[in-house]
Amino acid sequence: MPIYEFKCKKCGNEFEKFVLSYSQIKDVKCPKCGGEVEKKVSACAVGGSSGSTASGGSCTAFG
């Protein structure tokens, strides 16, 4: 699911938003003040077959 994290350059509000395509990121505005936002770098979490969750920058699935 393409859910991205953003931070408003104007008010500092941090939020997540579902964006259908990467090209639509430029159209995202802050829901609090309507200001311009920047996409944050996100860590990912992937559940393995044992039900454990690994998080970090590698985004590697564990089996």
Rounded distance, CA 4 to CA 25, Å? 9
Q: Is residue 25 part of a domain?
A: yes
35 in Cβ contact with 8 (< 8 Å): yes
**pLDDT tens series, the chain, 63 aa:** 588 999 999 999 999 999 988 889 899 999 999 999 999 986 666 666 655 444 444 454 444
Task: Flag whether the pTM goes above 0.85.
Answer: no
Q: Is residue 61 part of a domain?
A: no
15: containing domain:
3-56
Q: Is residue 35 part of a domain?
A: yes
Q: What is the pLDDT of residue 8?
A: 98
Q: Is residue 63 part of a domain?
A: no
Q: Is residue 33 part of a domain?
A: yes
- Report how many domains make up the chain: 1
5 in Cβ contact with 16 (< 8 Å): yes
Please report how many Cα atoms fall inside a 13 Å half-sphere around the Cα of residue 48, on the Cβ side: 10
Rounded distance, CA 34 to CA 51, Å? 39
